[in-house]
Structure 1
Amino acid sequence: MSGAGQDHRVKFVLDAFDTLFNKRDYAAAERLWSAQYIQHSAHIPPGRDGLFDLVKGLPATLRYENHVAAASGDFVILHGRFSGIGAPAAWVVADIVRLEDGMLAEHWDVIQDEATQAQSRSGLPMFGDRFPA
């Protein structure tokens, strides 16, 4: 796939994440997530409704920020941070989504609590170039 096609898919998924997690525009998100959405995450109930219901139950302070994104074929991987989730630490997440027919069709993730500087054995932040405050 060309770089332009990859960029389009990355932009699509980033826009979808912004629509759902930051804007909480569920009507618009329904046009981005397939009704047959397959959820592999251990933290999220099945299907599109499971994801949307999870987001609806999270605090209004929820915020998604992206650090790195890449595409290969129908797959897009995002390395991002979910903050304001109502937990002591933000989540740093690798989200992998599969696109089909112009929609998010399937999802996997790897989730870690964001480490503070005192907790980081590498001495480097997990997200971006700064440790959490």
Structure 2
Amino acid sequence: MDRRRFGLALVAAPVAAVPAMAADATLEANKKVVLDFYEKALNQRDFEAAAKHFGDRYIQHNPTAPDGIEGFRRFLAFLKERNPNGRNEIKRVLADGDLVALHVHSRREPADRGLAIVDIFRLEAGKIVEHWDVIQPVPETAANSNGMF
């Protein structure tokens, strides 16, 4: 490789890293939004504190939960009344593009075996606009010793 082409390669390398760094920053920012939302909403049961993270709409894919931001308010009120001691422990956080997924151990009461949940949130411009989840009870016994978390 002659010196001119080698010099161009050195100049181009840092420029190519800029979009990757911006993408990484967005993924980290999205994770922070979802983590704060989850703590405020599902652990503190504080709709007003969590609501700042909603976009202009909230599309709900869980068939047992009402759609929309007001639907989420009602869902949270239901949880607060029905399971006042409920607690959710986030085990893993994953982000890809505009999606953030949480692997969660949810308990209605501290002594419960609880539920294994994967919550998936889609964000637009740093705001939560869509949600999916998969929920599975933690069994008393398992066919393997790997654990769910």
Counterparts of 1:34 and 1:125, CA distance in 2 = 36
* Aligned counterpart for 2:147 among listed residues 115, 125, 131: 125
TM-score by length of 1: 0.82
TM-score by length of 2: 0.74
Give 5+ residue unaligned stretches, structure 2: 1-19
Question: What is the 5 A alignment of 1:1-133?
Answer: 2-58=23-79, 59-84=83-108, 89-116=113-140, 119-127=141-149
Q: How many residues align?
A: 124
| Structure 1 unmatched ranges of 5 or more | 128-133
C-alpha root-mean-square deviation of aligned residues, in Å?
Answer: 2.0
Check 1:84–1:12 CA distance in 2 against 1; reply closer, same or farther (3 A cut): same
Q: In structure 2, how many angstroms separate the alpha carbons of the residues matched to 1:36 and 1:101?
A: 13
Is the CA contact (8 Å cut-off) linking 1:34 and 1:48 kept in structure 2? no
- Greater radius of gyration (CA): 2
Detail structure 1 runs of 4+ shifted over 6 Å in the superposition: none
Name the CA distance, whole Å, in 2 between partners of 1:83 and 1:37.
25
Q: How far off is 1:35 after superposition?
A: 4.4
Structure with the higher fraction of residues in helix conformation: 2
Cα deviation per residue 1:44-85 (whole Å; 9 max; x = unaligned)?
111122222122112111111101111111111111122116
Amino acid at match of 2:143: R
